[in-house]
């Protein structure tokens, strides 16, 4: 799909992940604010995270990215998925959210299905194409591009709807997705992704058998740490993040203020955090970078407790949310780079998808837990719980290096 040149790889990944992030911005940034204003509860808003279920289910079709007959078609498939995603994003403009929430929910699920499928092919390429020293930069492009897309789809709507109207803003977002489709063709004429080994067990198995084989491998005693880390590494931050925008709305913030202070500042901070995460991964090495990320994620959650207690004063809240998003971007980049290390190249599409799906599952689980605790015990208690959960992955890290090596090892043919 893309030439084996780090610069071109980074450009392509940035474009494609930006496109994926736009509809996710609708779901996580715009919908919670508007629906909270319409009287939806924290738990109801958190439940919308399950519209992203395709991100967890994509393991069912991830094996396609490893099939020898499919790999030559990767560019066409990614472009077709991008075009379908463009039309889906444009479809949001057909009906206003406040009048047709069910329409928006359906399109949100469809967009998640298209973006998650595209993600399988792009991730598989990235695992095979990026050298170990490049994975930090490659994942910074992934996380930064995705956050940029969320900025367009979240802050773009919140800030511009009042001026341009919802329909015009949504159509502009669709145009951005269409332009980002060029990422499917960057350097494609020089693409030379190594073919899978025909003698490996995975090349002789169907999708269901491959999934079962990999799952057995991933839950083995010497390997399961990798999957557990993927599931828990960001669970605490997912709990906290799901509460930020509804909390700001509760304390009287306008949509425009949320757009500027929460979404825009947060997204920019996350992009900076992703770049810092890429640099730390390269400089500190993987294990030390993971430890650093755990500490940072717990520390950036702490000030959110004070924000809730003080009823979200504007300046303090803006700075605190910027720190939280910085820590989240840093942690995501380091985690995904580490998961690439633990991925078998010959099973890259399927294996890496399963690992990252653990984090995607944690988004829904964390949002639901955070929402339920906030509804029953208050936002402050939910943020205390989130801070504690942020620190727990440190217990897994002493076993990381050995588990990652065992995870990436190929089966004997």
Domains located in the chain, CATH noted: 6-188+201-408 (1.20.1250.20)
pLDDT at 175: 94
Taking every pair of Cα atoms in the chain, the longest distance, rounded to a whole number of angstroms, is 62
pLDDT at 208: 66
The pTM of this model reads 0.78
Separation CA 185–CA 191 (nearest Å): 10
Q: How many CB atoms lie within 10 A of CB 221?
A: 8
Residues 6+ apart with CB under 8 A from 367: 46, 49, 238, 239, 241, 242
Separation CA 392–CA 377 (nearest Å): 22
In this predicted model, what pLDDT tens digit does every residue of 191-219 receive, in sequence order?
434 454 444 555 555 556 767 887 889 99
pLDDT of 408 over the 80 cut: yes
In this predicted model, what pLDDT tens digit does every residue of 78-117 receive, in sequence order?
899 999 999 999 999 999 998 899 999 999 999 999 999 9
3-state secondary structure at position 222:
coil
pLDDT at 239: 94
């Amino acid at each position: 799909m893309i030439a084996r040149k780090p610069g071109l790889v980074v450009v392509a990944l940035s474009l494609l992940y930006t496109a994926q992030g736009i509809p996710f911005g609708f779901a996580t940034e715009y919908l919670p604010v508007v629906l909270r204003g319409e009287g939806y509860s924290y738990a109801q808003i958190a439940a919308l995270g399950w519209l992203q279920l395709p991100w967890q289910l994509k393991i069912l079709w991830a094996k396609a990215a490893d099939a020898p007959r499919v790999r030559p078609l990767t560019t066409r498939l990614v472009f077709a998925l991008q075009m379908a995603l463009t039309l889906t994003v444009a479809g949001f403009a057909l009906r206003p959210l406040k009048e047709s929430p069910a329409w928006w929910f359906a399109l949100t699920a469809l967009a998640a299905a298209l973006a998650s499928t595209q993600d399988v092919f792009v991730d598989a390429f990235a695992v095979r194409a990026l050298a170990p020293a490049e994975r930090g930069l490659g994942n910074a492009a992934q996380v930064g591009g995705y956050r940029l897309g969320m900025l367009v789809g979240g802050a773009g709507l919140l800030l511009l709807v009042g001026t341009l109207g919802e329909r015009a803003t949504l159509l502009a977002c669709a145009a951005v997705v269409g332009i980002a489709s060029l990422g499917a063709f960057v350097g494609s004429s020089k693409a030379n992704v190594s073919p899978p080994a025909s003698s490996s067990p995975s090349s002789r198995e169907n999708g269901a058998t491959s999934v079962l084989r990999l799952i057995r491998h991933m839950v083995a005693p010497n390997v399961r740490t990798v999957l557990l880390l993927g599931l828990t590494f960001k669970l605490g931050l997912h709990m906290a993040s799901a509460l930020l925008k509804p909390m700001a709305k509760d304390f009287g913030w306008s949509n425009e203020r949320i757009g500027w202070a929460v979404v825009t500042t947060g997204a920019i901070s996350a992009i900076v955090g992703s770049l810092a995460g890429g640099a730390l991964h390269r400089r500190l090495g993987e294990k030390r970078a993971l430890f650093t990320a755990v500490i940072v994620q717990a520390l950036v959650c702490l000030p959110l407790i004070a924000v809730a207690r003080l009823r979200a004063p504007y300046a303090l809240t803006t700075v605190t949310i910027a720190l939280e998003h910085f820590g989240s971007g840093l942690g995501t980049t380091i985690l995904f780079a580490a998961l690439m290390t633990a991925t078998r190249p010959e099973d890259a599409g399927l294996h890496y998808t399963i690992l990252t799906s653990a984090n995607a599952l944690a988004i829904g689980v964390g949002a639901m837990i955070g929402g339920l605790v906030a509804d029953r015990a208050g936002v402050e208690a939910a943020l205390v719980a989130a801070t504690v959960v942020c620190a727990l992955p440190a217990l897994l890290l002493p076993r990381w290096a050995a588990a990652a090596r065992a995870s990436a090892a190929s089966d004997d043919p």
